[in-house]
Structure 1
Amino acid sequence: MGNKPSSEIIRRFIDFIALQRRYSKHTQNAYLTDLEQFESFLQTLSEGNKQQITQADYHDVRAWVISLLDDEQVTARSINRKLSALRSFYRFAIQEQLIEESPLRKLKALKADKKITPFLPQTDARQLWQALTELPADEFITAREQVILILLYTTGIRLSELIHLKISDIDFSNRQIKVWGKGSKQRIVPLLPQIFALLENYIQIKSQLFGEAIHSPLVCTDKGEEAYPMLIYRTVRKHLDMITTIERRSPHVLRHSYATHLLDGGADLNAVKELLGHSSLAATQVYTHTSIEKLRKVFEDAHPRS
C-alpha cells in the first residue's frame, strides 16, 4: 500500500471531489493547498527523503498541527478546516485501498472560539430606519429596498425565508406574517404597525408592474421573478455601507441585530427563540452576549465595591 507518488494521489483525490462529490472550485483549491502544505511539512520531517502522504501517521499529523499553532496568524478554526481536508483525503485513500486506516482516527478537532456575528448599534439602527422611511417610495426599486431592509430588521427572518415569503403569507388584519423556516417548519412572526403602509405601497406598485398574484413571491426581481440571494445581499450592503462602520454587512447582521435589540430591551429568551425559529435554546443563547455585557457594566457601575 502507498506506493504511488503523492502528487498523483492528490490529483486523483481532487478529481474525485470535483467529479463525484461536486465540490466547488473554491473548496477544491482549498483542499489542494492544504494537502500540498501537509506534504511539504512531511518532507521537513523526513529530511528530504520524500515521505509520501499515504505513509504519514498520527504523530506526523500531530506535529503538523503543533507547527501550525506556533503561527499566531493561524486560528484554531482554520486548522480544523485543514484537518477536514486531510480527513476527506484519507477516507478516499482507504476507499482506494491505499492505506488501511486514517492517521487522523484518534485526532480530535481543536476547540475553536465561537464566531460572533456583529450587530448594529442602536444608534445605527435608528439611522437606518430613518433613511429607509425617507426613500422615495413611488418607485419599484426603492420601495423594494424599503421592504427588504425593514422586514429583515423588524422580523429577524433569514435570507432564504425572505426570498420564499409570498404576499399571501402576510396577514394584514392580525399584523403578522407566516414564515416557512428550516425543515419546512412554520412560525408566526408579528409585524410592527409602522411598516404596513410601506408593505401596502410596495405590493400596489408590484401589482401594477407584474399583475396581482396573491401567491407570488413578495420580493421579486426587476422582471417580476423570485428574488435571488445576491440581490438581497447587494441591497443590504448598499444601505448598511451608508450608516455603519461594522465590518460585516449582510442580511444575517440584521437578524442578529433584531435578536440582540430584543434581548437588550428585556425580551424573554424563549420568546426570541420562537421568533427566530430556532429548534433549541442553545442556538438563541449566542445572541445574549451583549445583554450579559450590558448587565456586567450596570453591575460594575452600581456595586459599592466595584
Structure 2
Amino acid sequence: MLTRFENYLRNIKGYSERTTSEYLKDLKAFARWAKTHREGAKWSTLTRSDIDEYITQRAKEGIKPATTNRELASISALYRYFIREGLLTNNPARFQSRRKVGHHLPNTIPSEDLQKAYANSVGVVHVWIGLLSTTGIRISELLGLKWEDIDFKTCALEINGKGDKDRIVYTTPEYLELMRQAY
C-alpha cells in the first residue's frame, strides 16, 4: 500500500524525492508504533485518539513541533489518499491540532562586519555583497541569477528561490550599473 502511495506522491502530487522519503519514513515510524501499542492495528482501524497518543509521545520524546507537525501531515496525507482511492471514508487525522512552532530569526552577519566587507571589496564581490545585503536574496539565488532575469528599466530581479518558487525583488539603479561595470 505504501508503494502505491509513494508513486502517488511522486507522480501525481509532484512531491520531491526528499519530501516523499520523509513522508514514508514518518508513516513507517507511525506503523511501527501502532504495531507495538495496538494489537492487530491496521490503517483502517487506527483512530484519532491513536494519532493523538502517538504525537503526544513524540513530543514527550523531545521531538520538535515542526517534525511532529510534518509527521501528522504525512499521516493525514495517507488517509486522504485512502479516501481518494475509495479504501476508507474517514480521515482520523483530518482535524488534528498542530503543535505551535516557535519562529526564529535567521542568522545574519553583524552590520559592522557587512559594512567592512563591502568597503574592502571590489568588482563582482562588491556587487554581490551589496545585492545580498540590500535585497535579502540567498547566495544560491544570487548564483542562479542570469542576465535575462534582470529588468534594468524597473530594477527588478526575477529570483528562482527555494522550492523552485519564483519571486521578484528590487534593487537600485546604482547596483545595476555596478553590475554592468563588473561584468
Sort the TM-score into its range (normalised by shorter chain).
Answer: 0.7 to 0.9
Q: Aligned residue for 1:84?
A: 73
Q: 1:196 to 1:45 in 2, by over 3 A?
A: closer
**Structure 2 residues without counterparts, runs of 5 or longer:** none
My pick for the range that moved more, 149-158 or 63-72, is 149-158
Q: 1:13 to 1:75 in 2, by over 3 A?
A: same
**Distance in 2 of aligned mates of 1:179 and 1:18:** 31
Shift of 1:185: 8.3
Do the aligned residues in 1 keep the contact of 2:157 with 2:171 (CA within 8 Å)?
yes
Shift of 1:164: 5.6
My pick for the range that moved more, 58-67 or 92-101, is 92-101
Do the aligned residues in 2 keep the contact of 1:31 with 1:85 (CA within 8 Å)?
yes
Q: Aligned residue for 1:177?
A: 155
**Distance in 2 of aligned mates of 1:201 and 1:131:** 18
Q: Aligned residue for 2:98?
A: 109
Which of 129, 152, 158 aligns to 1:149? It is 129
- Does 2:47 correspond to 1:64? no
- Does 2:174 correspond to 1:201? no
Q: 1:187 to 1:69 in 2, by over 3 A?
A: closer
Shift of 1:178: 3.4
Shift of 1:131: 4.2
**Distance in 2 of aligned mates of 1:199 and 1:179:** 12
Question: Which amino acid is 1:111 matched to?
Answer: K
Question: Which amino acid is 1:115 matched to?
Answer: H
Shift of 1:100: 1.1
Do the aligned residues in 2 keep the contact of 1:165 with 1:179 (CA within 8 Å)?
no
Q: Aligned residue for 1:45?
A: 37
Question: Which amino acid is 1:147 matched to?
Answer: V
Q: Normalised by the size of structure 2, how large is the TM-score?
A: 0.79
Task: State how many pairs are aligned.
Answer: 176
Q: Aligned residue for 2:23?
A: 31
Question: What's the C-alpha RMSD, in Å, of the aligned pairs?
Answer: 3.1
Percent of pairs with identical residues: 20
**Distance in 2 of aligned mates of 1:149 and 1:103:** 50
The one of the two structures with greater contact order (alpha-carbon pairs below 8 A, sep at least 6) is: 1
Do the aligned residues in 2 keep the contact of 1:17 with 1:23 (CA within 8 Å)?
yes
